[in-house]
Amino acid sequence: MKKQDKVKKIHKILNDLYPDPSKPLNHKDPYTLLVSVLLSARCTDKKVNEVTPELFSLADNPKDMSKIDVRTIRRIVKPCGLSPQKSRAISNLSKILVKEYDSKVPKNFEDLESLPGIGHKSASVVMGQAFGVQTFPVDTHIHRLAWRWGLSNRKSVEQTEKDLKRLFPEKSWNKLHLQIIFFGREYCPAISHIRDLCPICSKYGRKDMK
């Protein structure tokens, strides 16, 4: 089967299973999304959503957050892991937004990626979900599935992003990113994956994968 034919079939399966995927992180605006994405590093979306209501009840905008003591932020976000780094990053990026961006989240990759704790993947999520720019954030889970499905060679997450952008229509990227995440959780987990029970791997997965 030609790769482009396989891509179309995989895309159809994902559309059939998840026609309208919800956004995993609870947020009300670009700033609360930015903080939630930062907290999600090496942490589940579920845990982030459990933590952020208390944090945002204290401060849900850069100006207010910049005035909160870092120790208070750290206490609240501790369940998300890496709390020393994450609490400092939240405090520092909030101060930067107030000082340099009129308390607004910038709408471009360069400025977003210059903020503490925000890398390319996080910036892609914000650009896609907050500002509607078609992006394809690739985390370790999407990286793994793209390899299992023979769509990328597992060389790096950067290469996987390029491969997926090349294979799928640009207008589908934001939605597809979420569809693959949900599919991975339900059918294609990292551990205890059963190939024959996976709707995609069973038909289109790599032959050298168990």
Residue 130 tokens, joined: 């907050």
Question: Going by C-beta distance under 8 Å and a sequence separation of 6 or more, which residues neighbour residue 20?
Answer: none
Are 40 and 115 in the same domain? yes
Are 121 and 156 in the same domain? no
- CATH number of the domain within which 106 lies: 1.10.340.30
Write down the pLDDT at residue 48.
98
Write down the pLDDT at residue 155.
86
- Which residues span the domain enclosing 145? 3-21+136-204
Mean pLDDT by 10 residues, the chain (210 residues): 94 98 97 98 96 98 98 98 98 98 98 98 98 96 96 92 97 98 95 93 85
Q: What CA–CA distance (Å, rounded) separates 12 from 202?
A: 15
* CA 118, chain centre distance (Å): 11
Write down the pLDDT at residue 200.
98
Are 104 and 155 in the same domain? no
Are 194 and 112 in the same domain? no
Query: Which of these three, 93, 110, 131, is where a domain ends?
Result: 131
Domain assignment of residue 124, yes or no: yes
Write down the pLDDT at residue 18.
98
Query: Which of these three, 89, 112, 131, is where a domain ends?
Result: 131
Question: Going by C-beta distance under 8 Å and a sequence separation of 6 or more, which residues neighbour residue 150?
Answer: 3, 6, 204, 205, 206
The phi, psi pair for 22, rounded to 5°, reads -85, 160
Write down the pLDDT at residue 1.
83
Number of domains in the chain: 2
Are 57 and 114 in the same domain? yes
Amino acid letter for position 196: D
- CATH number of the domain within which 171 lies: 1.10.1670.10
Give 133-193 as a DSSP string: -------HHHHHHHHHTTSS-SS-HHHHHHHHHHHS-GGGHHHHHHHHHHHHHHT--SSS-
Are 64 and 101 in the same domain? yes
Write down the pLDDT at residue 173.
98
Write down the pLDDT at residue 98.
98
Write down the pLDDT at residue 210.
56
Domain assignment of residue 210, yes or no: no
Are 45 and 89 in the same domain? yes
Are 123 and 176 in the same domain? no
